[in-house]
Amino acid sequence: MTTLFTDAFTRADGTLDSTNWDTLTGEASLQIASNHLVPSAFNADNCDYVNSTGVASIPNDQWAQITLLNPTSSSGGGGEGIGIELRCATAARTAYRCLAGNTTITFSKMTDSGTYSGVIASATGLTIVANDVLYAEVQGTTVIIKLNGVTKITQTDSSIASGRFGIGHSSDTTGTPQLDDFTGGDFAGGAAAVAPSRRRTLVGAGV
């Protein structure tokens, strides 16, 4: 595995900058607040993906992980939550959504320029707390989602073949979720270690 991009969000407050990030078509941008990442709009889906300046080329087989600083007050059972989006399209509102509430992780997708699938797969009865690490990968048609290195969801889906990794938030989420320390990469180059977090060792990939 290879790390292609990292962001600790340690810069001025405001909408996530366009230097390395773009906002998915039809969605709101996340924003930086006190060196963390938070939604900018709670009544709308938020999604930003790493653009071609951040990483020139992201393979279709990709992974990403992020630290959950403040899990939401929603269980997540209806697809609410905040977390990782994979294969985000750059010209249409499509992506695989891998989101966490405070007791549930879900897999869903946006296709056909914004058609929401509903929850396709979920892991329930969890206790998700501050500094837990959410990890998601897609290789071919297989999506795997882990929490602190433990696999919670494995799902096959062939709807979205390509795109870029990013960060997402569901419009139904309540509370004040916070994220930190995003890392994304591909599966080339063997089992390279993932860079550690300031708060917790990132354990999603290769565990």
For 50-109, how does the pLDDT look when each residue is reduced to its tens digit (9 = 90+)? Answer: 999 999 999 999 999 999 988 777 777 788 889 999 999 977 889 999 999 999 999 999
Residue bearing tokens 């990939």: 205
The pLDDT assigned to 40 comes to 82
Please name which of 88, 55, 22, 50 lies closest in space to residue 182, comparing C-alpha atoms. Answer: 50
In the CATH hierarchy, which top-level class contains the domain 2-186?
mainly beta
Average pLDDT over residues 154-168: 96
**E-strand stretches of the chain:** 2-7, 14-15, 21-23, 30-33, 36-39, 46-50, 62-70, 82-88, 95-100, 105-111, 115-116, 121-123, 132-139, 142-147, 150-156, 164-169, 178-186
Looking at every residue in the chain, the average pLDDT score rounds to 87
The pLDDT assigned to 79 comes to 82
Whether 148 contacts 203, CB under 8 Å:
yes
The pLDDT assigned to 93 comes to 87
Nearest-angstrom CA–CA distance, 202 and 30 = 22
Amino acid present at 88: C
List, for residues 27-53, the tens digit of each pLDDT value.
889 999 999 998 887 767 889 999 999
